Chains A and B, each alone.
Chain A
């Protein structure tokens, strides 16, 4: 018989994970103490944007029970603590919310229920919980904003922190994990907690390599796009390596893990200088567009109006945590802005001369410069010929190469993107 799965904490992590559990045929209880949130979820109003999420929740309604009463979890054999852990500006976690959640949930565990911590917690957190260790586990989450459903439905593996890794997992928990048909890797609590951080460090390391070498490409005339396929064919690097240069890490989760490593290194006297360098590189990259605007645009063109496409920190998400777009806008207060984002409403924008547009083309009308700050798929529909018609100026800053650069240049635009030398109109 299939166990009933419970999720406590209906944030991004909890909602997507619960949807995946239901999609695999498990009765799923979704608990959050926020009554308003639960009411909205019952009405099908999902507070996060993820491709495919609304469809799953709609199709699995019969398996999903939403409740703001923790007693509802009593029916579950496996209960996940699945609330996202908020971070401050320094990337430090605020664990008080999930500690409060655990305090509520533990008294409602049935005698045979398993408690699994799925949140982003620092090493040592799980072992310190006052819960019987033979029924306490930590499971690594590898949610990616914008791909959360896909990741929850098709995990590469489950990394499970245990008191005794050699001991077989409880039947209910094993049944649930086996449904996903992927490897299960039991290990010590601390190893699993650090595995999560290790994964993110590897990703940031790759991103930092891409950023560093892409900047060099911009100076020496190489093209990072030409180099990447060669790297992906190297078995030691791999086809899915994070090799796209960007505007600094954002979203909060990677930053959190880097901060945790630095804090642990400070506490235990290990060397984390390379991690600090990654953080430094990330801050540096965040200002790439600002530097290009001042270096490549202002010396040549009078610029009175700037169009900014994209406010979210990446595509397919509503999140603006550490968004490069908002960081840029903060330093453009002397220019008039018109912004457009398909999802973010712009209320976070703090700017004295900023107006919101309802479409990309409306945003760019009469603009001197257009800057594509988020690689939303719909921006690919913007045609350079349309820009030519409606824009006043002839500069496109497109870090992620959403628009066809050569076509832009052939139409007379100065086209500026990451990882390739900037060719000016006068060159």
Chain B
């Protein structure tokens, strides 16, 4: 869970967002900008973490008073090559952190670091990834923590949805795009698998809170409410006036039918923060599209 180094929230002097051009990075920049926090947005254009001079370039941007948010990743890491590229990117950041003082580091990780059967998932559930993507985040967390003296916060979001999502994976993002094209919204089988879906704006708000409290440790960015894909598909279909259609699963029914999270640590870390319920979140996303 998170331990706060500030008992009273204090806005960071400046936040350097590495990976500001992505879906999550962009939402973080928008959130912090809205709060009037000075930001340095770094995209691949300013620093390509896979280039040989990445460390040198990144170092030139950093000040000792900076809070650094690392959100840059080639995700999802589905192949060994992608895994190694992601580790190479983290290595470049670690080289800088080893020789550069910063105030705080926040890493956007993933709930993929946990074992598939860790139900309900908590921050103290064993880190036992079963995918290359999960292993990538678990390794990066450890690499970063071992490279800096600054407090390190690892935020582990589950399935993120939002208007700008680039992946269109099975879930709210794909459903919305299918519906926007006139439908139908396709679910696999009965769509009974329950998953936790978190709106990207809520992830960005948690980042802001963690920065202002200078939090250290790990926290899951999850709502604590798991919803069946079919229910979400029906919500989206109603928004657009289209139908939901079942289609055969591309593979066998998943071994882990549902995934639940216990968010007690979030309630303790940020008592006045509340996640956007899925229905409300889907409405907000639709409004963002139009």
Give chain A's interface residues, CB within 8 Å of chain B: 284, 287, 290-291, 294-295, 298-299, 331-334
Chain A interface main SS type: loop
In the complex, which residues 114-170 of chain B have their Cβ closer than 8 Å to any Cβ of chain A? none
Instruction: Decide: B274 and A331 in contact? CB cutoff 8 A.
Output: no
A291-B225 Cα distance, complex, nearest whole Å: 12
Instruction: Decide: A331 and B267 in contact? CB cutoff 8 A.
Output: yes
A129-B267 Cα distance, complex, nearest whole Å: 48
B171 at the interface (CB under 8 A from A): no
CB pairs A–B below 8 angstroms (7 shown): A287-B268, A290-B268, A291-B264, A299-B274, A299-B277, A331-B268, A332-B271
Q: Which of A284, A294, A299, A333 contacts B267 (CB 8 A)?
A: A294
Instruction: Decide: A290 and B264 in contact? CB cutoff 8 A.
Output: yes
A101-B264 Cα distance, complex, nearest whole Å: 43
A298 surroundings in chain B (CB, below 8 A): 274
B224 at the interface (CB under 8 A from A): yes
Q: Which of A290, A299, A334 contacts B272 (CB 8 A)?
A: A334
B262 at the interface (CB under 8 A from A): yes
Instruction: Decide: A331 and B224 in contact? CB cutoff 8 A.
Output: no
Least distance between A362 CB and chain B CB atoms (Å): 26
A332 surroundings in chain B (CB, below 8 A): 271
B277: nearest residue on chain A (CB-CB)?
A299
Instruction: Decide: A334 and B264 in contact? CB cutoff 8 A.
Output: no
A334 surroundings in chain B (CB, below 8 A): 271-272
Give chain B's interface residues, CB within 8 Å of chain A: 224, 262, 264, 267-268, 271-272, 274, 277
Instruction: Decide: A333 and B271 in contact? CB cutoff 8 A.
Output: yes
A331 surroundings in chain B (CB, below 8 A): 267-268, 271
A377-B264 Cα distance, complex, nearest whole Å: 30
B120: nearest residue on chain A (CB-CB)?
A284
B271 surroundings in chain A (CB, below 8 A): 294, 331-334
Instruction: Decide: A287 and B224 in contact? CB cutoff 8 A.
Output: no
A287 surroundings in chain B (CB, below 8 A): 264, 267-268
B267 surroundings in chain A (CB, below 8 A): 287, 290-291, 294, 331
A330: nearest residue on chain B (CB-CB)?
B268
A291 surroundings in chain B (CB, below 8 A): 264, 267
B272 surroundings in chain A (CB, below 8 A): 334
B264 surroundings in chain A (CB, below 8 A): 284, 287, 290-291
A182-B273 Cα distance, complex, nearest whole Å: 57
Least distance between A334 CB and chain B CB atoms (Å): 5
A331-B274 Cα distance, complex, nearest whole Å: 15
Least distance between B29 CB and chain A CB atoms (Å): 28
B268 surroundings in chain A (CB, below 8 A): 287, 290, 331
A294-B271 Cα distance, complex, nearest whole Å: 8
B277 surroundings in chain A (CB, below 8 A): 299
A332-B272 Cα distance, complex, nearest whole Å: 10
A295-B271 Cα distance, complex, nearest whole Å: 12
A291-B271 Cα distance, complex, nearest whole Å: 11
Q: Which of A290, A295, A333 contacts B224 (CB 8 A)?
A: A295
A331-B264 Cα distance, complex, nearest whole Å: 11
Least distance between A375 CB and chain B CB atoms (Å): 23
